[in-house]
Every structure is written in C-alpha cells, then in structure tokens.
C-alpha cells in the first residue's frame, strides 16, 4: 500500500517523508489535480477561425499543459506539496499577493508499475460518433485510442467493454488484460447504434465496477469514450454529478475521453470534477497519439484525494481569487481538488490575496488530503515575503514558476471572460483581452520561458478573431 504523507515545505525548509516501490528521491516527476486536463477544444476552434465558448477555456486545463513545479529540498514521499509566494498586480493593475501550491511526485517513471486495474471502457456508439463514417470521426478516434491502450494491459489487469446507444450491451465481459486477441476482436467489432443514452451505459458500467470491487479488485476505473452529447436519459450536470458521486463513493473512478468537437461542456466538467475524475479532449489523430505517448499510464493513477487548501493570514490579508481548482460547471471556484494524479508535468494551484501592506505579506498554507487507504494527512507550510523588494514592474516572486503560473492564470481568465463577453459584442471582448494580452506579452518577455510564446500566440490569435468579428463556435462543432 502506498504511504502518502505530504512534505512540509516552505521557501526555506522542508521535511522528508517515507517511500514506496518505484519512488525516486526528489519530487522530480509530476502530479496534477483532476478535472479537465487540456485546452485542445479551444485551440482547435481558434485554429478553425472560430471564437471558443467561454466553457472551453479553463485555468485548470491551462495549468495541466505546463510544467509548473516548485523547487525545494528533496522529498521522499509519493506526493510532494510545496509552497511559494509572490507579489504582482492583478488584472485590475492593483497589487496582489500570490500563493502557489506546487505538486510533484517522487515516483521514478523508469521503474514505476501501475497498480493492477480493472478498466471498464464505456463506449458511445450513437450516431453522433460517426463510427461508420471513416477517418477523423469521434468513433474512429475512440477505436484508435482503445487499440493503443490495449497493449498496455497485463495479466494483472482486467478489461470490460460496455457500449451504449439506443441499447446497452457488454461486448466484452471482464477479461484478463493479456487476452489481447479477444480484446482486439471486441474493439474491431464496435459499430454505430442509435441515440445517446449515456445514463444507461454508465449505470451498466457502474454495476460492473461495483462487482469488481466486491470481488476484491482495489483499483477500478470507468473510461468513458464519448462526444458527450447525451440526448436520452440523464442529460444535465446535476444528474451526472449524482451518478458519478455515488460511483466514486463505491470506489470506482472515472476518466472521460472526449472526442471531436461534440463536447457538452457542462457534462464534461461536471464529471471530471468528481472524486477520482479527470477528462481529456482529443479532436485529431495527432492528439490521440499525443495522449497515448504522454498520459498513459498516468491518467489512471490517482495518488491522493480530497486535497484542501486553506490560507491563514492573521487577518492582514484576504483571499481574492483561487485559480486552477477543478469545480463543476458554472460554480464559483472553491479551495479544493478532489483528486491528484500522476503526470509527466508538475502541477500548480494558485490563490491571490488582497491587503494593505504587501511588504509584510505572510501566510500559513494549510494542506490536507486523504491517501488511498483513507487516512487523512495535514500539513502547514509557513510563507513570508521577508522584505524582498519589488522589481521595476512592481513584481516579486520567490520562484520563477510562480511568476509563470500567475501569468498563465491571468491570461487564461481574461480569455475566458472575453469569450463570455463576445456573446454580446466584440467591443466588450476586445476591451477585456487587449490589456491582458499586453500584460502577458510583457510577462513572457521578462521571464523568457520557452513555454510561454505559444500562449502569447494563442491569445493574439483570439484577439484577431474578435477584431475580425469571427463567428463564435460551440463545443458541438457548429
């Protein structure tokens, strides 16, 4: 059993913890919170000359695409949590304090062995998936994904396949992962089948998942292959929340693999924000191949649950805005992340603070989470500016990663808000994005980090679409 105890790390000090099989020594591998894990949908729409809907642009997704880990003394535990401070203007040009929580892991990817897992591929075979329509359809991308994932299964694993359309079927009952011929035949035999009763498909999948748990399988994960356009049965986030929450409580995790541009954002984000939940979007074969290369086996490897972030400032400062915390659709951000997964990239959470005397900025960062055995762990990280001076731009960051994280949070929020404003006209959207882009361009130039220019280009492209009066796309591909 993995032993998870967060390392108490401030800018100046750290305490080390225990280890596990496959664990390295320094927190050099990645860990990211669950939720939506990429901005592929927004990027694809912008590349097609369409303004994305605001729902396609999430800070948590932007963070997941970048390596934002914090430096610190070695940590010997699976999950390393580090903290760092900064001071910089917010989107209103008023000074803010910034606190980053950095997430990393000590696992050694060269020796890591994914725990034996029962996977239940729950596959949308409805007409919108285009299973019979050739290359590039959500159905074809789903088949490519399943064929690519199948060889990663071993005799220790199990795989079942559930399909849903007008009816629900189980073309592959729980089967040992080394039975590759049977698995490939089941994948090859998938074909189109009517409307989209996702609720019925998920209920069958959860029945199999609970049965696997009852049979002693410790790690059970539903992998949902869909364009998330449910039109029969439960179709709202609240209904799916209840279904997925009940499943998570029984020990069954959920990964959504959203294919094509047919994504229902409410359902996608709602499912991904639940305990043990994450979501990835892919609209091209290149993105599918990128997922297979970069995310397997990490997407199915949660290492912590119920991460809670508290900030105590002695009343001198107040919390302004949390960034990067996965939440349900159209809810206010809260200071929690229901799951932490292994990842090739080191993750981040961010909180801005307001107060009258940022020269005296100090806070205690309270972190709690639950390990995979159900034990709760609590750690406090003290942070203080300590009189460090601001630079000519009115900024100071204890670590460069926090400066990048802050810059990415501000530009992503501006893009989101500008896309929301674009519904009512281009002028409002331009008024939001243009000053935010100028700030981000200056941040990127000052930092010189190689991962920021691509996001400068993205924001510039979006601003040009506003200026041209481009159509606003939707997540169903229209």
* 290 and 429 both lie in a single domain: no
**Does residue 202 form part of some domain?**
yes
Q: Percent of the chain beyond pLDDT 90?
A: 64
**End of a domain among 300, 327, 344?**
300
Instruction: Please state, in angstroms and rounded to a whole number, the distance separating the CA atoms of residues 296 and 148.
Output: 10
Across the range 360-384, mean pLDDT stands at 88
* 140 and 273 both lie in a single domain: yes
Residue 96 pLDDT > 80: yes
Across the range 108-119, mean pLDDT stands at 93
Across the range 235-248, mean pLDDT stands at 75
Task: Give the count of domains, the chain.
Answer: 2
Across the range 460-464, mean pLDDT stands at 98
Among 57-71, 259-273, 388-402, name the one with the lowest average pLDDT: 259-273
pLDDT tens, residue by residue, 149-208: 999 999 999 999 999 988 999 999 999 999 999 999 999 999 887 777 888 899 999 999
pLDDT value, residue 10: 31
**Does residue 141 form part of some domain?**
yes
pLDDT value, residue 267: 67
pLDDT value, residue 288: 94
* 307 and 444 both lie in a single domain: yes
**End of a domain among 243, 269, 300?**
300
pLDDT value, residue 11: 28
**Does residue 3 form part of some domain?**
no
| Domain harbouring 146, CATH code | 3.40.50.410
* 293 and 310 both lie in a single domain: no
* 142 and 55 both lie in a single domain: no
* 208 and 127 both lie in a single domain: yes
Residue 269 pLDDT > 50: yes
Residue 68 pLDDT > 90: yes
Residue 353 pLDDT > 80: yes
pLDDT value, residue 165: 87
> Average per-residue pLDDT in the chain?
87
| Domain span at 231 | 118-300
Question: Is 402 or 335 the better-scoring residue by pLDDT?
Answer: 402
User: What is the band of 17 on the pLDDT scale with cuts at 50, 70, 90?
Assistant: very low
pTM: 0.89
For residues 365 and 409, the answer to whether their CB atoms sit within 8 Å is: no
Instruction: Please state, in angstroms and rounded to a whole number, the distance separating the CA atoms of residues 367 and 380.
Output: 6
* 374 and 387 both lie in a single domain: yes
pLDDT value, residue 263: 57
**Does residue 321 form part of some domain?**
yes
Question: Is 394 or 4 the better-scoring residue by pLDDT?
Answer: 394
**Does residue 267 form part of some domain?**
yes
Instruction: Please state, in angstroms and rounded to a whole number, the distance separating the CA atoms of residues 322 and 333.
Output: 6
pLDDT value, residue 377: 83
**End of a domain among 240, 274, 300?**
300
Residue 344 pLDDT > 60: yes
Q: Can you tell me which residue has the tokens 């305490």?
A: 15
The CA-atom distances, in angstroms, between 132 and each of 127, 163, 477 are: 9, 15, 18
* 292 and 306 both lie in a single domain: no
Q: Percent of the chain beyond pLDDT 70?
A: 89
For residues 337 and 35, the answer to whether their CB atoms sit within 8 Å is: yes
**Does residue 473 form part of some domain?**
no
pLDDT tens, residue by residue, 193-207: 777 788 889 999 999
Residue 438 pLDDT > 80: yes
**Does residue 59 form part of some domain?**
yes
Residue 331 pLDDT > 60: no
* 255 and 353 both lie in a single domain: no
* 249 and 378 both lie in a single domain: no
pLDDT value, residue 327: 74
**Does residue 370 form part of some domain?**
yes
Which residue, 405, 391, 237, is CA-closest to 328? Answer: 237
C-alpha torsion 72→73→74→76, nearest 10: -90
* 199 and 267 both lie in a single domain: yes
Across the range 301-309, mean pLDDT stands at 92
pLDDT value, residue 374: 81
* 461 and 341 both lie in a single domain: yes
The CA-atom distances, in angstroms, between 253 and each of 119, 273, 278, 305, 402 are: 10, 11, 9, 11, 31
């Amino acid at each position: 059993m993995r032993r998870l105890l967060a390392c108490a790390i401030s800018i100046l000090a750290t305490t080390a913890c225990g280890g596990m099989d496959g664990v390295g020594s320094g927190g050099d591998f990645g860990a990211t919170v669950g939720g939506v894990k990429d901005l592929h949908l927004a990027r694809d729409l912008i590349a097609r000359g369409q303004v994305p809907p605001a729902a396609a642009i999430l800070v948590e997704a932007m963070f997941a695409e970048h390596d934002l880990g914090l430096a610190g003394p070695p940590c010997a535990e699976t999950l390393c949590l580090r903290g760092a401070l900064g001071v910089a203007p917010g989107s209103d040009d008023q000074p803010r304090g910034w606190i980053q929580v950095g997430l990393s892991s000590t696992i050694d990817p060269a020796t890591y062995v994914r725990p034996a897992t029962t996977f239940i591929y729950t596959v949308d075979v409805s007409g919108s998936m285009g299973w019979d329509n050739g290359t590039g359809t959500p159905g074809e991308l789903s088949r490519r994904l399943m064929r690519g994932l199948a060889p990663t299964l071993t005799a220790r694993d199990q795989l079942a396949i559930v399909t849903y359309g007008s009816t629900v079927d189980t073309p592959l009952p729980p089967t040992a992962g080394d039975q590759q011929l049977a698995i490939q035949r089941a994948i090859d035999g998938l074909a189109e089948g009517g409307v989209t009763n996702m609720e019925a498909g998920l209920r069958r999948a959860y029945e199999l998942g609970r049965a696997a748990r009852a049979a002693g399988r410790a790690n059970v994960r539903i992998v949902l292959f869909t364009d998330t356009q449910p039109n029969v049965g439960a179709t709202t986030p609240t209904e799916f929340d209840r279904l997925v929450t009940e499943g998570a409580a029984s020990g069954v995790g959920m990964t959504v693999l959203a294919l094509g541009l047919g994504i229902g954002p409410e359902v996608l984000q709602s499912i991904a924000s639940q305990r043990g939940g994450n979501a990835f979007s892919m609209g091209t074969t290149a993105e599918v191949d990128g997922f297979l290369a970069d995310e397997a086996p990490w997407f199915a490897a949660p290492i912590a649950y119920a991460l809670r972030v508290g900030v105590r400032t002695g009343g001198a400062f107040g919390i302004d805005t949390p960034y990067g915390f996965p939440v349900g659709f159209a809810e206010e951000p809260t200071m929690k992340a229901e799951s932490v997964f292994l990842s090739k990239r080191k993750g981040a959470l961010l909180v801005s603070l307001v107060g009258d005397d940022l020269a005296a900025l100090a806070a205690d960062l309270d972190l709690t989470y639950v390990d995979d055995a159900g034990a709760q762990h609590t750690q406090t990280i003290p942070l203080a500016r300590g009189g460090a001076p601001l630079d000519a731009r009115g900024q100071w960051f204890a670590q460069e990663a926090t400066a990048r994280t802050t810059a990415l949070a501000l530009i992503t929020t501006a893009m989101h808000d500008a896309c929301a404003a674009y519904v009512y006209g281009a002028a409002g959207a331009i008024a939001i994005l243009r000053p935010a882009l100028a700030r981000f361009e200056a941040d990127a130039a000052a930092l010189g980090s190689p991962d920021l220019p691509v996001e400068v280009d993205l924001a510039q492209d979006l601003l040009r679409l506003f200026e041209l009066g481009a159509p606003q796309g939707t997540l169903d591909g229209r």
